[in-house]
Amino acid sequence: MRSFLTILSIALLFVPLPARAASDSFSTEELIAGFEKTVFGLEYRSWSWRPYQVKKFTKPVLFYVHNLSRRDRRNTVHRFIREIGNRIGGLTTAIAKDPARANFEVYVVDRSQYEPVVKKDVYKNDRARVPGRCLVRVVSGSRGIKRSAAVIVSDEGEFLFKRCLVEELLQGLGPMNDDSELIHSVFNDSSRHSRFTVFDQLILNMLYDPRIKPGMSMKQTRQVLPLVARDARRRVR
């Protein structure tokens, strides 16, 4: 039986930092460093025995949004899901009508619902630890990500909602690590970004390039990353 790894990502605190816009603003070296900092490793390494291998979907990603909060956020979440599909080459996304068909479930909750939903719907364990302000869980194996589930808090301000939406959905696609040096990225709990930045579009396009395979090590990816970064820069404008 194939074993799967479980990964957790948490969004924490934010402070303002500058942003750049154009894809050609970033050197190949910057993009490779950003790829390695986000794709290899985890925010909480003790939660996984396979943190230093590539994790990505190899099949179409079918999202289903469970809107449990008082405010209906489905249109906003659906719009961002469509943006993901439009901006990442090599990735096919769609919105499922039935949660049973989805391999990426998104729970939009009010703060009071956050802990119960994580325990009941994401971990199915009443004793699970529930840290953070929002969260994504990824279940992955040697053939790629099997499923992801994100929990986004809706009622603690627009910034937190949008920040969590972008960070957790993107991390649920594979780049699970945060790094304080990535000032142009949501994959940095100290940044103030709440949108799909150009830098992050480049990282995701690199990850979903067909030359990058699930289970690859950092050493293996380094053989192709210069060309992958060049081609990602051509796609992201």
pLDDT digits (tens, 9 = 90+) for 158-197: 999 999 999 999 999 999 987 888 889 888 876 778 899 9
**Pick from 50, 55, 163, 165: nearest CA to 106:** 165
Res 218 pLDDT > 70: yes
For 72-111, how does the pLDDT look when each residue is reduced to its tens digit (9 = 90+)?
A: 999 999 999 999 999 999 999 999 999 999 999 999 999 9
pLDDT at 47: 45
Look over the chain and give the mean of its residue pLDDT values, rounded to a whole number. Answer: 88
The CA distances from residue 181 to 12, 154, 236, in Å, are 16, 28, 22
pTM for this model (two decimals): 0.87
pLDDT at 9: 54
pLDDT at 8: 55
Q: How far apart are CA 73 and CA 54, in angstroms?
A: 31
pLDDT at 124: 93
Q: How far apart are CA 204 and CA 128, in angstroms?
A: 30
- The DSSP secondary structure of 138-184, one letter per residue, reads EEEETTEEEEEEEEEE-SS-HHHHHHHHHHHHHHTTS-----TT-TT
Residue 132 — pLDDT band, cuts 50, 70, 90?
confident
Q: How large a percentage of the chain has pLDDT more than 70?
A: 85
Res 122 pLDDT > 80: yes
